[in-house]
Amino acid sequence: MTRKLKELKSLFKDDFLIGAAVTPKTIDSQKELIVQHFNSITAENEMKFERVHPLENQYSFEEADKLIEFANNHKLQMRGHTLVWHNQTPPWMFEQSDGSELEREALLSRMKAHIDTVLNRYYGKIYAWDVVNEAISDSDGQFLRDSKWRDIIGDDFIEKAFTYARAADPNALLFYNDYNEFVPEKRDKIYQLMKSMIDKGVPIDGIGLQGHWNLEYPSIDLMKEGIEKYASLGLQLHITELDVSMFLHEDKRTDLQAPTKEMLELQAIRYKEIFSLLKEYRKHITSVTFWGVADDYTWLDNFPVRGRKNWPFLFDQFHKPKQSYHELLKLN
């Protein structure tokens, strides 16, 4: 007798949405898992600037539309990722036709046009947007990261993006999304940015905590401190890009062909501790999205070490539930 697996989305139905990053390929190759276990999706790459807007007068929505259609067919919620980011944005955006740098007002109107076009197209289909991604610096003593957006517009590029997004789709929830969200120095900067936006009346609904974690880092204590601090702002929290790497940040080894038994056990305990904590904060955390579905495809196969296999999810390369999945069933 084969028993049907308990669905992740029903396991956490009283807690938060359970999402996954998908691509036009994985909605086919991982379709069964996605449809069975998840009630939310995010486009891994297909809604990024360079993908939907490769040239000034050319938008290309075919791939993004496929994901929208998939969400619609299977009654999945959809998060939008992402509008303003220093990566995966084409150089033309910041240049005049002769190649010289654009000026502030011109870049602002291009930003507005992009946000208007994308949010209008997906009006009513995307309930939450990562409006600005990764604007805070990782360096001590520097607040905002250097980027073309900031160079040309100034520090207020962030609030402008949120203001344009609210005007384009007043119903969408607007998020600021970042990584290393529990590193104390960076956490405090993210908090400060959010606080100043709220104080100025900039429209923002939530913070996206990416959640690119590993077997040890960040500690549950650091996560707890960070969640408490962010939650004190009264904003919703989404875990937007969860994966639990088998390698610590400084571990750059490339010899492993499969996860060790010990790694799988540690990952299972880790996932249980993580979800136990997230459940404690379910009043604040309204969505938890994995940055993929199963171990046959993850961006971590190429980050931070190119071509090194990783196994960060609850389902293995053959889509079978791992120990990590089974441990979650023990949560009440």
Catalytic residue set: 134, 241
Closest approach of ligand HAH to the CB of residue 256, in Å: 22
Tokens 């957006």 correspond to what residue?
149
Please, which residue, 44 or 295, has the CB nearer to ligand HAH? 44
Task: Report how far residue 50's alpha carbon sits from residue 94's, in angstroms, rounded to the nearest whole number.
Answer: 13
Closest approach of ligand HAH to the CB of residue 212, in Å: 6
Count other C-beta atoms under 10 Å from residue 198's C-beta: 14
DSSP 53: -
Please, which residue, 36 or 137, has the CB nearer to ligand HAH? 137
Closest approach of ligand HAH to the CB of residue 59, in Å: 19
Please, which residue, 210 or 236, has the CB nearer to ligand HAH? 210
Sign of the dihedral defined by the CA atoms of residues 140, 145, 146, 152, in that order: negative
Q: By the criterion CB under 6 A, which residues form the site for ligand HAH?
A: 44, 133, 179, 210, 212, 241, 299
Please, which residue, 30 or 133, has the CB nearer to ligand HAH? 133
DSSP 250: T
Q: Are 117 and 165 in contact (CB under 8 A)?
A: no
Which residue number is nearest to ligand HAH in terms of Cβ? Answer: 179
Closest approach of ligand HAH to the CB of residue 44, in Å: 5
Please, which residue, 43 or 274, has the CB nearer to ligand HAH? 43
**CA nearest 43: which of 26, 67, 19?**
67
| Structure tokens, 111 | 């930003």
Closest approach of ligand HAH to the CB of residue 329, in Å: 28
Angle between helices 184-200 and 157-168 (to 10 degrees): 60
- Identify the burial level of 134 via C-beta atoms within 10 angstroms of its C-beta, where 0-12 means exposed, 13-18 middle and 19 or more buried: buried
